Structure 1
Amino acid sequence: MSQRKILILFDIDGTLIKFKSGTAGKIFSDIMEEIFEVRIDKNNLPDFAGQTDLKILREICEINNIPFSSVQSHIELIWEKMLHLFGKYCTPEYILLLEGVPELLKYLSEKEYITLGLLTGNFRENAYQKLKTYNLHNFFSFGAFGSDEEDRNKLPPLAIRRANKLFKENHFSSDNTIIVGDAPRDITCARANNIKVASVTTGSFDLTELEKYSPDLIFENFSDYRSVSLALCQLIN
């Protein structure tokens, strides 16, 4: 029996890399204060874990009484400033490469029946900027991003369409796709689209917290990358 094709969609923050705590909140706050000339309550920021950048911006607006329509009309400027500010922190001093990640991505990418993509709350340019810190960007030629949709649950169908467009054939559907992430929102996003999901405890959530959401797999980390690869493939075949 031939091996089925598999699409594996990776989250970034907390899954592949990990930013120094508080960095993202400071950047979002500073940009909003600069553009809209308002004071942002830095002690009352939304939960960033598993959120899209658009959703984070909306929640900051709601907390600080800023019309979200103002963000929408300035969105290109916001992405531009965010890319610049995040770029200052995209160094090993501020970003940790999580255990086993390069080895796992290389191992998976060498299997002809596996295609790797991104499913992340980051806006597209910043997603690749972060990954370039450790030369991980070349593993991912496409994805679905936090600048595409505010609702994370709408990203998997978009990523699948982009994968099929890349190959000019309908190789992928929810039946042979896996989402890999560190947050409960990765799990609920997968479940909303009838997609298999693997969690990893390298982010902000421990084993007990993630088990409450019943992912198909939970890994402590990716250090045993061959076993991780085998377990992922067995979800589909």
Structure 2
Amino acid sequence: MRRSSWQRPLGQLNQHQCFPFFWLDVGDADQVGARSHVDGEVLLVISGSVYPAAGRLATLTNPGSRLAWSRAIPHHVAICGSCDDGTVTTSKTLILWDVDHTLIENGGVSKETYALAFELLVGTPPAARPQTDGRTDRSIMAELFAANGVAMTEAHRDALFPTLIEAMKRNADALRLRGHALAGADAALTAVSRDGSFVQSVLTGNIPENAFTKLATFGLHKHLDFEVGGFGSDSIVRADLVAASQAKAGSKYATLFDRGNTILVGDTTRDVEAGVKGGARVLAVATGVDAVEVLRTAGADLVLKDLADTESVLRCLREIASAGAQGS
């Protein structure tokens, strides 16, 4: 049985996220953590399983695993540890980036891809053009079919995602020529990746393959964990993608992700609505169709005009994360 005993004074921990504990004795558990739920209840996360915890001492059901703190755990606590290397770290915050008009400009290729997918499915190009901003792929295509007076059959639905992938492949050169990464996007992703308290992925209406193509075309895929993203293949409703991503990330990182430690970064009021309804805080950027005041009124926690100032992006993410950790 592996065993670790760790002791860390407060000065060695991130003070706005962590709380000093007296000792931690871990046996078979691969990961041990504690963080506050949105309602203030203190929870323990042990190898991916969540347990309610008493304030001073919790004896866990995992064999050989035990936690104790020097005093009652405050509701904002966020502590985790790994018995593999004895390192104490802060709990994670999940950052979910929108793709189009937040990280990249697609130069109109996105709408052309939906139009091409329609043509490949139906046999004729659409007369009415796609409406895209903030919608999911399934929603965009369903509306495109309806706008063109074509009933979407079960065969169309079954072939939808493979056809969208094929259409994106055919338009990849056009995307490379006419699209570009938005100002500050690469620097922001790189800077956030250097903060060990953040996990970065995407929340996008695109299906995973097309989201990856769009970002990889401009080298923006390197710091994103696509395994835990929320995609248009998860649900037709954009707000549902937040919970889908939180569930994937929770399983992979053995952390309970909720509104307190999830931040959605997007450019439309639909992005803001997805965060508010789906269970995430929102950093909005006015790089799309919606202005700063519109995004603020929609309910974004903070709003930036763009991602050009990397320090401002980091400051906003940390401010929102800190507010979430404190339950405010």
The question of a shared fold, defined as TM-score above 0.5 by the shorter chain, is answered with yes
State the Cα distance separating 1:4 from its structure 2 match.
4.6
2:141 match: 57
Q: Deviations over 1:163-190 (max 9, x none)?
A: 11222x1242221100000011000001
Cα distance change, pair 164–132 in 1 and its aligned pair in 2 (3 A): same
2:299 match: 214
Q: Which runs of 5+ in 2 are unaligned?
A: 1-14, 19-89, 323-328
Checking the alignment, whether the CA contact within 8 Å between 2:135 and 2:205 is kept in structure 1 is: yes
Amino acid at match of 1:26: E
Over aligned residues, Cα RMSD in angstroms? 1.7
Number of aligned residues: 232
Cα distance change, pair 130–39 in 1 and its aligned pair in 2 (3 A): closer
Of all paired residues, the percent bearing the same amino acid is 27
State the Cα distance separating 1:120 from its structure 2 match.
0.5
- Normalised by the length of structure 2, the TM-score is 0.67
1:120 match: 204
Higher relative contact order (CA 8 A, sep 6+): 1
Q: Deviations over 1:97-155 (max 9, x none)?
A: 11111111111111111110110011110111111122111211221111221111110
Checking the alignment, whether the CA contact within 8 Å between 2:94 and 2:198 is kept in structure 1 is: yes
Which of 6, 19, 36 is the equivalent residue of 2:122? 36
Q: Distance in 2 between matches of 1:39 and 1:115?
A: 41
Q: Does 1:184 align with 2:235?
A: no
Amino acid at match of 2:284: S
Q: Does 1:94 align with 2:178?
A: yes
- Higher Rg: 2
Q: Deviations over 1:182-218 (max 9, x none)?
A: 0110000011023210110112222243233131111
Q: Distance in 1 between matches of 2:216 and 2:311?
A: 24
Q: Distance in 2 between matches of 1:145 and 1:76?
A: 12
2:234 match: 148
Q: Which has a greater percent of helix?
A: 1
Q: Which has a greater percent of strand?
A: 2
Q: Which runs of 5+ in 1 are unaligned?
A: none
Structure 1: which 4+ aligned runs deviate by more than 6 Å?
Answer: none
2:194 match: 110
State the Cα distance separating 1:63 from its structure 2 match.
1.1
Q: Distance in 2 between matches of 1:7 and 1:153?
A: 16
